[in-house]
Amino acid sequence: MHNEKKTKLITADILKSSIIGAFTKINPWYMIKNPVMFVVEIGFLTTLLLCFFPSLFGDEGNNLRGYNLIISIILFITVLFANFAESVAEGRGKAQAESLKKTQKDMQARILNMDETETIVSASSLKKGDMVLVKAGELIPNDGEVMEGIASVDESAITGESAPVLKESGGDFSSVTGGTTVSSDWLKIRITSNPGESFLDKMISLVEGASRKKTPNEIALNTLLVSLTLIFLIVVVTLYPIALYSGVRLQLCTLIALTVCLIPTTIGGLLSAIGIAGMDRVTRFNVIAMSGKAVEACGDVDTMILDKTGTITYGNRMAAKFIPVDGVSEQELIHFSVLSSLKDDTPEGKSVVQLGARLSGKTDHPISGMEFVEFTAQTRMSGVNLPDGTKIRKGASDSIQKYVQELGGSGPKDLEARVTEIAKLGGTPLVVSVDKRILGVIYLKDTIKEGLVERFARLREIGIKTIMCTGDNPLTAATIAQEAGVDSFIAECKPEDKIQAIQAEQSEGKIVAMTGDGTNDAPALAQANVGIAMNSGTQSAKEAANMIDLDSDPTKILDVVEIGKQLLITRGSLTTFSISNDIAKYFAIIPAMFMVVIPQMQTLNIMALSTPYSAILSALIFNAIIIPLLIPLAMKGVKYRPLRAEKLLTRNMLIYGLGGIAAPFIGIKLIDILITPLLAVFGL
C-alpha cells in the first residue's frame, strides 16, 4: 500500500480520555444505542441489586451475596471494556482533529474590497464569494479558487507532503484549501465556502466522528446482533421452567451470566470501534471520506474505472528508440532528431535529447541562430530552422508526410510499416524530416507505472474488474491495456463515455469506483458509487466525489479499495470469532448449571471445570477480557489478502471460526484453575 501515516495505537492522552469515556458512556440513554451491551448493563444493574436484596428474587444464602457481587463486578467491567474500545477509536480521531484545529486558530485574511483596497479581517468571518489576497508566507484562510496570480503552495499541513504544489488560475490546479501556506509570490483567491463548511471543517468533523453515521452493512450487522440477543433471551427465559421441571432451581444471577455469555457481546462491544477505525485508517492514508458509507462501499467494489494517463501510465511519453527508414543511418536520424528537440521544453522533447546523448555520446550541439518552431494543434509538428535554411521537423506521421509533399518530396515506402509497428506496441510514432526528406521515426513509449501490473492482478484475484479509459486510438489502447493487465478498455473516450460505462455496470447491480480531477469528470464522479477526486483538482470535482485524495495520486483508489475490503473483512472475522466463542461458553456453562442434579451432564463438561460456580465465573471473566484483547485487531484491522469471496470465507472460518472455539476452551480452563482456590474462600 501507499505511505500510511504511522501513529501509536494508544498514546497517554488517548488512554486518559478513553478511560474517562468508558465511564461517561455508561449512561443508559447512550448505551441503548448498542442493544447488545445495553442488555449486559441491565444484567449488571440486576445483579448489583441482588447483592443487597438476594431474597428479592428468592436467592437466599450468604455465599450467594459474594457470588452475585463477583458477577456484578465482571458485568460492570465488561461494559467498561466495550465503552473503552469505542473511546479508543474516537480518541485517535479527536487527537488528529486537534492538530487540524491548530491551523484555524487566529487566522487572519486580507480581503479585497470593490475599490481594490485591503481590509484585514478574521478568517472565520469570510463568506462564499469574498475575494482575498494571500502573499508569500501567509496561510490561505479558507477554501477557494485562484482567480489571479501563480504561486507555490505548501500543503503539508493537510497532506503531510513537504513538496509545494504550483497553483494558478484556470485549469485543474486552481483549487486551494484553507490552512495551507503560500510559499512564494501571491494569489488572489475567491472564497468558495461559508464559515464552518470548509474542507478543513469537514475533515475535523469527520475525524472527530461527530458526523459519522452507521453504514448499511453496519446497520444490517447490528440488526443481526439484536436478533441473536432476543433469541438467546427467549432461550434463557424458557430455560428456567425447564430446569424447574427437571428438579433444578437456577439462580437469577446464573441465568444473567448465561445470557451475557451466549449473546454476541464480543462483536457488540467492538462494532463501533471497527467502524470508527475504518474511517481513521482511510484518513491516515491521506484520503478523506465524506461518509462511512463511502469507505464501506469501497469494500464492495466490483468494477474500477481508471484514466490511463497519469493513473496507469506516467503521462509523459518518453523516447525509447530511433527507427530509421531504408537508406538512412541511425546516427543521422539521431543527430537531426536531437537538433529538432534542443529547444523543445516538453518532457517528450527532453527525453529525445537525453536518449540521443546516451546513444551517440554527443552532448554539445550549436544552437546559436536556430529558430524554434513551436508545436500547434493545427500543424501537429514542431522543429527548428537552421541558419543555413535547413528545416528540421518532427511530428505526427500524416502531418510530416503532408509537409514533405508540399516541399516536393515523398514519403519512404517503409515508413507506414515503421509507424504501424510502433502503434501496435502502444507507443507514439514521431516522424522526423529534414527539408523534403523523411529520415525515420522516434518511438515514444507510454510507460506503465511500477507495481501496477501486480496490483491489477491482485484486484482480479478478489473479483474486481478493471476498465481503462483513454483518448488513444483502439490499437494503442489495446496494447497498453494488455501490458498493464486491465480487463477491459474504452478507446477514444469522452467524458460522457465514462458516465455511460458506469451506468452500464451499475445496471447489472455492480458497485463502481473511479478517479477524476477535472470539471469534466464531475458528472462521472457523482454517478460512481465511489468517486475519488484529486485534491489538486477543480472544486466541482471535489464536490461531486465522496472521497478526496489529499496526495492527488490517482492510483490511491487501489489502496482505498483494499482499505474498504479490510474494514469488511475485519468486521466479518470478529463476528465469526464472537459467535464461535459462544459455542465454547455453552460447553462451560450449561453442564455447570445441571451437573449437580443431573450427573449425566458431566459428560458435556469436557473442560473438566472444578465447580458450577467456577465454570460460570470463568466463562464470564473470559467474556469480559477478550474485548480489550481484541481492541488492537479491531483498530489495525485484519491483514488484507487478495482472495476471492469463497477462499476468504474458508480462511476466516478456519482461523477465526476454529480459533474462536479453541481460544475460550483454553482461556476458560486457565481462569478456572486460577479462581477455584479463591472461590473456596467464599464457600463457592
Q: Please enumerate, by residue number, every residue annotated as part of a binding site.
A: 344, 348, 375-382, 394, 517, 521
E strand or H helix at 26, and its extent?
none
Q: Write out pLDDT tens, residues 537-549.
A: 667 777 788 888 8
**Mean pLDDT computed over 450-472:** 82
pLDDT of residue 443: 92
Q: Residue 276 and residue 270: Cα distance in Å, rounded? A: 10
pLDDT of residue 150: 84
**Mean pLDDT computed over 653-669:** 88
Among this protein's residues, is 497 annotated catalytic? no
Cβ burial, residue 389 (10 Å; 0-12/13-18/19+): exposed
Q: Residue 524 and residue 496: Cα distance in Å, rounded? A: 8
pLDDT at residue 191 greater than cutoff 80: yes
pLDDT of residue 172: 55
Residue with the bigger pLDDT between 130 and 58: it is 130
Q: Please enumerate, by residue number, every residue annotated as part of a binding site for Mg(2+).
A: 517, 521
pLDDT of residue 473: 74
Q: Residue 515 and residue 306: Cα distance in Å, rounded? A: 6
pLDDT of residue 310: 64
- Which amino acid appears at position 147 of this protein? M
If you average pLDDT over each of 123-127, 137-141, 225-229, 401-405, which comes out highest?
A: 401-405
DSSP letters spanning 164-205: -EEEESSGGG-EE-TT-EE-SSEEEEEE-S-TT-SHHHHHHH
pLDDT of residue 126: 81
Grid cell, residue 378, equals 493545427
Q: Residue 680 and residue 684: Cα distance in Å, rounded? A: 5
What would you measure as the largest C-alpha separation in the chain, in angstroms? Answer: 117
pLDDT of residue 210: 43
C-alpha distances out from residue 201 to 124, 246, 631, 668, Å: 11, 64, 29, 48
Q: What is the DSSP letter of 487?
A: S
If you average pLDDT over each of 23-32, 46-55, 543-552, which comes out highest?
A: 23-32
- 287 neighbors 532 (Cβ within 8 angstroms): yes
E strand or H helix at 449, and its extent?
none
Length of the chain, in residues: 684
pLDDT band, residue 325 (cuts 50/70/90): very high
pLDDT band, residue 1 (cuts 50/70/90): very low
pTM of this structure: 0.64
- 629 neighbors 545 (Cβ within 8 angstroms): no
Residue with the bigger pLDDT between 342 and 518: it is 342
**Mean pLDDT computed over 214-235:** 81
**Which pairing describes strands 547-549 and 530-534: parallel, antiparallel, or unpaired?**
parallel
pLDDT at residue 205 greater than cutoff 70: no
Asked which of 260-274, 639-653, 660-674 is least confident by mean pLDDT, the reply is 639-653
Helix, strand, coil share of the chain (percent; to 5): 55, 15, 30
**Phi-psi domain of 446 (left: phi exceeds 0; alpha: psi -120 through 50; beta: other):** beta
pLDDT at residue 462 greater than cutoff 90: no
188 contact partners, CB below 8 Å, separation of at least 6: 112, 131, 132, 133, 146, 147, 148, 149
CB neighbours of residue 388 within 10 Å: 6
Assign 537 to helix, strand or coil: coil
pLDDT at residue 664 greater than cutoff 80: yes
pLDDT at residue 432 greater than cutoff 90: yes
What residue ranges of the chain are covered by domains with CATH 3.40.1110.10?
A: 317-444
Looking at the chain, the whole-number percentage of residues with pLDDT higher than 90 is 11
The interaxial angle of helices 252-262 and 35-52, nearest 10 deg, is: 160
- Phi, psi dihedral angles at 378 (to 5 degrees): -75, -45
Distance, C-alpha 353 to centroid of its chain: 40
C-alpha distances out from residue 9 to 93, 206, 281, 371, Å: 11, 19, 11, 62
**Mean pLDDT computed over 210-217:** 58
Q: Residue 464 and residue 561: Cα distance in Å, rounded? A: 10
**Which pairing describes strands 150-154 and 165-168: parallel, antiparallel, or unpaired?**
antiparallel
Q: Please enumerate, by residue number, every residue annotated as part of a binding site for ATP.
A: 344, 348, 375-382, 394
Q: Write out pLDDT tens, residues 269-314.
A: 888 778 777 777 777 777 877 766 777 788 888 898 887 766 777 6
If you average pLDDT over every residue of the chain, what do you get?
80
Q: Residue 324 and residue 327: Cα distance in Å, rounded? A: 8
If you average pLDDT over each of 188-202, 461-475, 617-631, which comes out highest?
A: 617-631
- Cross-strand partners of 600: none
Residue with the bigger pLDDT between 518 and 9: it is 518
Q: Is CATH 3.40.1110.10 correct for 317-444? A: yes
Asked which of 68-72, 506-510, 575-579, 598-602 is least confident by mean pLDDT, the reply is 598-602
**Mean pLDDT computed over 149-171:** 71
pLDDT of residue 431: 93
DSSP letters spanning 500-535: HHHHHHHTTT--EEEEE-SGGGHHHHHHSSEEEEET
Residue with the bigger pLDDT between 393 and 161: it is 393
**Mean pLDDT computed over 465-484:** 83
Q: Write out pLDDT tens, residues 579-617.
A: 888 887 877 777 877 766 677 777 777 778 888 888 888
Q: Write out pLDDT tens, residues 371-388.
A: 888 887 678 889 999 988
Asked which of 129-133, 142-146, 613-617, 678-682 is least confident by mean pLDDT, the reply is 678-682
Strands, E, within 227-286: which ranges? Answer: none
**Mean pLDDT computed over 456-468:** 84
205 contact partners, CB below 8 Å, separation of at least 6: 211
Across 420-442, b (16+ Cβ under 10 Å) vs e yields eebbebbbbbbbbbbeebbbbbb
pLDDT of residue 211: 45
CATH code assigned to 287-312+449-550: 3.40.50.1000
**Mean pLDDT computed over 40-64:** 74
Grid cell, residue 248, equals 433444578
pLDDT of residue 479: 80
pLDDT at residue 47 greater than cutoff 60: yes
What residue ranges of the chain are covered by domains with CATH 3.40.50.1000?
A: 287-312+449-550
CB neighbours of residue 605 within 10 Å: 17
Candidates 130, 143, 201, 307; catalytic one: 307
pLDDT at residue 171 greater than cutoff 80: no
